[in-house]
Homo-oligomer: A and B are copies of this chain.
Amino acid sequence: MKHPMKKQKKVAIVGVGLLGGSLALALGKQKDLSLVGWNHRSASRKRASRLLRMSKDMDGAIRNSDFVLLCTHSNEIVSLLPKIPDLASPDALIMDVSSVKNEIAQKAARFSWAPYHFVPCHPMAGREKSGPENADAKLYEGKVVFVTPLPKTPESVLKRAVEFWRRVGAKAVVLSPERHDEYVALTSHLPHLLAAALVDTYGKYKQKNPIIERAVGSGFRDTTRITGGNPAMWADILQMNSHKIGFFLSLYRKKLLELENKINKKNSKDWKNYFEKVRKTRNKL
């Protein structure tokens, strides 16, 4: 006697770029899931269709879905939410993957249904290369995914979100949206801005001193690699997390002023101790 086929869960991936495409590859071989994607622009829909079945309209992708992954830019998430409950399965779980959480969580909390269906998430799995053509089945493996519930999210819903991320090999870390935004402001958004300012300073100097190009080594390349990221995505981040980023930028500028004063003092032992302390912190990362 044949074992009756267990009904597959439908996963809708809205916005199949690097993160959405990598989800598609990581989930693609799980037999209890059926995937469907959607991209707004037909060109990117076509590129994504090498990774998973793509729907021609968003409603069709979301209809009867058990999981809806919103993988679009941060500033589009809240406007997408209201149309989902009418289309998706009655117990659908909606998650996003964008880099800023507090504004999204606060606005989403205004929908009475949101605590039962929407859990904001942020996988720490970005790369400087975007687009579905850079998707990688192992992108999430061993990575942290921040799961930042709304004030009224029930434990059972939070648990479903945490378990979902285990499917792609990620480790869920539950955190308030506000704390999350503060942490990434320092570990991701500030470094991006600092690297951008460094490249900008270099670019201006290079116009008059083209030979400086030969003095670019692996250190400069490492330090500025993140500035290869998607400009539109980073513009959203800078707007949506401006308060926390501004706070750390101001703190950091004060730190640079201290260093500038230290340079003028020319005390070598002082510098050695400073770099030793910093290396110790860095080696623990």
Contact = CB atoms under 8 A, between A and B. Distances in A.
Contacts of A282: 199, 224, 227-228
A116 interface: no
Interface string A250-265: 1111011101100110
B249 A253 contact: no
A154 B106 CA distance: 71
Interface string A229-242: 10110111011001
Given A188-B220, A218-B127, A212 B183 contact: yes
Contacts of A152: none
A19 B241 CA distance: 43
Size range of the interface on A? Answer: 35 or more
Q: For A127, A192, A202, A239, which residue has the most chain B Cβ atoms within 10 angstroms?
A: A202
Nearest to A236: B268
B221 A223 contact: no
A264 B235 contact: no
Q: For A227, A228, A266, A269, which residue has the most chain B Cβ atoms within 10 angstroms?
A: A227
Contacts of A216: 124, 187, 285
Contacts of A195: 223
Q: For A192, A206, A238, A276, which residue has the most chain B Cβ atoms within 10 angstroms?
A: A238
Oligomeric state, in number of copies? 2
B215 A183 contact: yes
Contact of A271 (B144, B235, B272, B275): B235
Interface in A65-97: none
Nearest to A180: B215
A39 to B, nearest CB: 20
B214 A242 contact: no
B200 A277 contact: yes
B285 A231 contact: no
A235 B268 CA distance: 6
A260 B246 contact: yes
Contacts of A43: none
A242 B266 CA distance: 8
Contacts of A144: 214-215, 217
A151 interface: no
A231 B275 contact: yes
A33 interface: no
Q: Closest 3 CB pairs between A and B?
A: A231-B275, A235-B271, A183-B215
Interface of A: 124-127, 143-144, 146, 173, 175, 179-180, 182-184, 186-188, 190-203, 205-206, 209, 211-229, 231-232, 234-236, 238-239, 242, 245-246, 248-253, 255-257, 259-260, 263-264, 266, 268-269, 271-279, 281-283, 285
